[in-house]
Amino acid sequence: MNWNQTNVLITGAAGFIGRHLTAQLVAAGANVTALVRYGSRGERRFANLPNNIDGSTIRIIFGDLKDHHAVHEAARSQHVIFHLGALIGIPYSYVHPYDYVQTNICGTAHILQSAKEHKAQCVVVTSTSEVYGTAMVVPISEEHPLQAQSPYAASKIAADQLALSFYRSFDLPVAIVRPFNTYGPGQSGRAVIPTIISQALKGGAVKLGSLTPKRDLTFAEDTAAGMIRVAEVPEAIGQVTNLGAGSEVTIGELAHKIFAIVGRTPDIITDDARIRPGKSEVMCLLADTTKAKRLLNWSPKFTLDQGLEKTVRWMRDNPDWVSTDTYAI
């Protein structure tokens, strides 16, 4: 696909992965429209776009995924839609699960219906590895059973199935991309890596939840590149494709890696407030990346150590990005 002058709508463009995806598509020459939920920060949400992409080059539309009219108007004349917008905090889904239903399920329905009505050429719906729950078999392929261990995961399973139903029922060109744990510059403090880095840079003990869960970590630039490849490959339509590194690390091992980069002796305290309910904790996420390699010719360019070093460097330069004093759910 030639992205030059292609009209692209990105929901969740002001979010963590969305900013990296936006930067790569703008650099490729696409005409990017960002659907952004209204807030007092406005366009300043794009202040940390990577690669020195100027946020003023992006067309910004304020609206909520729960508002069908807003979504319908944003989707008008768009060739490709990347749907990343969602409520993503797992702990917060324990507090207000109905909000996740409205945003993640109903919001996706609005995207799909609008894409159908406006005859979009491709819709890439962003899933999550959380839909697999704790692995029954590793590595986890796209055929692994789906099991919701949090209201967030349940809402994403429903959104995925709704998207695939539009492909089967209406021939809507939909592809599902399922990233495993993504990290990198600009990630919010609710994620484990910026939580560890910010506390390690401040000094003193680092407060964490369980140290034994295993995660498959992919640098944000690699995840964004994989999402673009999904839109570029016609064979990905109607498919679910994992994006991951294909390697695992425990949270404890991850913390020790970060301490080594920061240059500190490990000092970790288990904070009960950060531990998920027992039946909700996903103990192992390890991607089977066979399909992504075969179908997309995609694999991560950054090793975990390289990505962590770049992320630590960015957080040193942006010390106010994450608060170390408050646990964000």
| pLDDT mean over 114-122 | 98
| pLDDT mean over 130-146 | 93
Task: Share the mean pLDDT of the chain.
Answer: 89
- What digits encode the pLDDT tens for the residues 58-93? 999 999 999 999 999 999 999 999 999 999 988 899
* Structural domain spans, the chain: 7-182+218-243
Residue 1 or residue 72, greater confidence: 72
β-pairing, 249-250 vs 214-215, is: antiparallel
| pLDDT mean over 103-119 | 98
The distance of Cα 70 from the centroid of its chain, to the nearest Å, equals 22
β-pairing, 249-250 vs 59-62, is: unpaired
Q: Tell me the backbone φ, ψ of residue 172, rounded to 5 degrees.
A: -70, 130
- What digits encode the pLDDT tens for the residues 153-169? 999 999 999 999 999 99
CATH of 7-182+218-243, one of 3.40.50.720, 3.40.50.300, 3.40.50.2000, 3.20.20.70: 3.40.50.720
| pLDDT mean over 114-136 | 95
| pLDDT mean over 255-277 | 74
Give pTM, 2 decimals: 0.90
Among the residue ranges 199-203, 254-258, 309-313, 321-325, the one predicted with the least confidence is 321-325
